[in-house]
Amino acid sequence: MGFRSQQNLDFADKSKPRFLICRFRHLGDVIVSTPLVHALRKAFPDAHIAYLTDEKFAPILEKNPALDEIISITHGHIPFESRRAAIRRQISLVKQLRKQHFDVVIDLFGSYRSALYAFLSGAPVRICGNPKVKRFFYTHFQNSSGLDESIVLRYLNSLRFLGIEPKESSPQIYLTDDEIKYAFTYLRSKGLDPEQPIIGLHPGATWPTKIWDYTNYSQLAQKLSQQGLQVFVTCRPGEEHITRKIAGGWIGPVIIGDVLPVRQLAAVIQHFMIHVSNDCGVMHLSAAVGTSTFGIFGPSEPKVWFPYSQKEGHKAFWKEIDCRPCYTKECAKGTGACLIAVNHVDVYNEIIEYISKYKESTDPHLLGKS
């Protein structure tokens, strides 16, 4: 099964091909893969399309009309689980995949584990972009065409072998009316008026090198509050200590959000006029629900990881210095200079300019979902 053919594939004689997309983690990576899901559905309207991902991120794919099935797995070790039980769990997943008789696996992760699952699935065609492991596991592999290629386009290029020309589009997630109504009620319970502009701030991130110093968020929040604007701080699990720091450095009313399940968080963010976020999964979550998103970038490249249009109200903030992008979790210089160079005043001025456009416009989208 490990042949290394690179020929294009023809499914003209197969009316209902079966596809499996694989991206285990992280939140942002799963979200930016949704344009690929929709491109695949458009090209093969009668196909069966499944998505294999970590159980933590599976909820974000729910209600996606382009997907027929979401297969969730527990990634990593389960507390008190024996080695034998862990092996049985992985064997069970392989059996589940083999029963599905997939024609094509598109592995967007490229780790040893995802490569092995793709190989053992029995799918005759296994596509991967820039695999980190031996290419023996795949039949087709798509190399990146350039360092500045957006992550959305990089994923879409995996479809070239299926005769699908990449056409970049925006990531999307789908919320229910009940979820949106819940968020409206939740914000009201926090003393906010969702029918008036709310500015969201997200000071957390997975990588320490991507965290804009909390003092920037504190000063930004204070300036916005002084303008009479509602400010709400969002939080993901493990980031509570950062929000507490902001609360301590912010003179004025402090509205700190609870740690919410990811879909509820998405619904809350959809009510914001603007969401300012570090480069992390929540930044992509914000853009995917249509909220104007301001991304704060340090060691990574916005051209790759901010595939969002300024015409749609999105904007990335970063400063070019000699050592970026470095894509590291620890600053080699020990200073975090790339994030220090981003001034909160620039972000504040951009927010005020955006609000001025809102006041002059009749477009309800600028306010957020209400």
For 331-341, how does the pLDDT look when each residue is reduced to its tens digit (9 = 90+)?
A: 988 889 999 99
Quick check: 64 and 37 in contact, CB under 8 A?
A: yes
Determine whether 122 is exposed, middle or buried from the number of CB atoms within 10 Å of its CB (0-12, 13-18, 19+).
middle
At the topology level of CATH, where does 18-162 sit? Rossmann fold (3.40.50)
Taking the CB of residue 355, how many other CB atoms lie within 10 A of it? Answer: 18
| CA gyration radius, the chain | 22
CATH topology of domain 177-366: Rossmann fold (3.40.50)
Better pLDDT: 132 or 38: 38
Q: What confidence score (pLDDT) does residue 364 get? A: 59
- DSSP state letter for 256: B
Mean pLDDT on 156-161: 92
Say which residue, 50 or 253, is predicted with more confidence.
50
Angstrom distance (rounded) from CA 198 to CA 186: 13
Residue 325 CA to residue 322 CA, distance in Å, equals 9
Joined tokens for residue 225: 């509050």
More reliable by pLDDT, 138 or 246: 138
Q: What is the predicted pLDDT for the residue at 6?
A: 57
The confidence score (pLDDT) of residue 332 equals 86
- Closest among 347, 321, 96 to 231, alpha carbons compared: 347
190's enclosing H/E stretch is none
Q: Where is average pLDDT lowest: 270-279, 311-320, 326-335, 353-362?
A: 353-362
- 359's enclosing H/E stretch is helix 344-360
Say yes or no to pLDDT of 369 above 80: no
Query: Which residue matches tokens 């499944």?
Result: 50
Rounded average pLDDT over 170-199: 96
Whole-structure pTM value? 0.93
pLDDT of residue 15: 75
The rounded distance, in Å, linking the Cα atoms of 123 and 97 is 9
Q: What is the pLDDT of residue 292?
A: 97
Q: 3-class SS at 188?
A: helix
Q: Kindly report which listed range (28-37, 61-70, 159-168) carries the lowest average pLDDT score.
A: 159-168
Q: Alpha-carbon distance 206 to 136, whole Å?
A: 32
The mean pLDDT of 283-302, rounded to a whole number, is: 97
pLDDT for 40 equals 96
String of DSSP letters for 32-99: TTHHHHHHHHHH-TT-EEEEEEETTTGGGGTT-TT-SEEEEE--SPPTT--HHHHHHHHHHHHHHHHH
| Distance of alpha carbon 258 from alpha carbon 137, whole angstroms | 43
**177-366 has the same fold as 18-162:** yes
Mean pLDDT of 78-94: 85
What does the pLDDT average to over 233-256? 82
Q: How many CB atoms lie within 10 A of CB 359?
A: 8
HSE-CB at 257 with a 13 A cutoff on CA atoms is: 31
pLDDT at 74: 84
Chain segment 6-56, per-residue pLDDT in tens: 566 776 667 799 999 999 989 999 999 999 999 999 999 999 999 999 999
- Separation of alpha carbons 159 and 175, rounded Å: 27
- Is the backbone of residue 313 left (phi > 0), alpha (psi -120 to 50) or beta? left
Residue 12, pLDDT score:
63
- 339-349 per-position pLDDT tens digit: 999 999 999 99
Residue 1 has pLDDT above 50, yes or no: no
- Beta sheet of 292-296, edge-to-edge order: 230-233, 198-202, 274-278, 292-296, 315-317
pLDDT value for 370: 54
More confident residue, 79 or 140: 140
The domain locations on the chain are: 18-162, 177-366
CA quadruple 158, 164, 47, 126: dihedral sign: negative
Indicate whether 3 pLDDT > 50.
Answer: no
Q: Which of 51-60, 249-258, 320-329, 352-361 has the highest mean pLDDT?
A: 51-60
Measuring CA to CA, which residue among 263, 280, 226, 27 is closest to residue 293?
280
pLDDT at 109 over 90: no
- Phi, psi angles (nearest 5°) of residue 180: -70, -40
Q: Is the pLDDT assigned to residue 78 strictly greater than 80?
A: no
Average pLDDT of the chain is 90
